A and B are shown apart, each in its own frame.
Chain A
Amino acid sequence: DIQMTQSPSTLSASVGDRVTITCRASQSISRWLAWYQQKPGKAPKLLIYKASSLESGVPSRFSGSGSGTEFTLTISSLQPDDFATYYCQQYNSYTETFGQGTKVEIK
Chain B
Amino acid sequence: QVQLQESGPGLVKPSQTLSLTCSVSGGSISSGDFYWSWIRQPPGKGLEWIGYISYSGSTYYNPSLKSRLTISVDTSKNHFSLKLSSVTAADTAVYYCARAPEFYAFDIWGQGTMVTVSS
Contact = CB atoms under 8 A, between A and B. Distances in A.
A49 B104 contact: yes
B62 A95 contact: yes
Interface string A80-96: 00000001010100111
A23 interface: no
Contacts of A32: 103
Given A49-B104, A95-B63, A44 B46 contact: no
Contact of B49 (A38, A50, A55, A96): A96
A34 B18 CA distance: 29
B48 interface: yes
B107 A101 contact: no
A14 interface: no
B55 to A, nearest CB: 14
B contact face: mostly helix, strand, loop, or mixed: loop
Nearest to B59: A94
Interface string A33-53: 010101000111110011000
Contact of A89 (B105, B110, B111): B105
B60 A95 contact: yes
A91 B111 contact: no
23 contacts: A34-B105, A36-B47, A36-B105, A38-B47, A43-B96, A43-B98, A43-B109, A43-B110, A44-B109, A45-B109, A49-B104, A50-B104, A55-B107, A89-B49, A89-B105, A89-B106, A91-B104, A94-B60, A95-B49, A95-B60, A95-B63, A96-B49, A98-B47
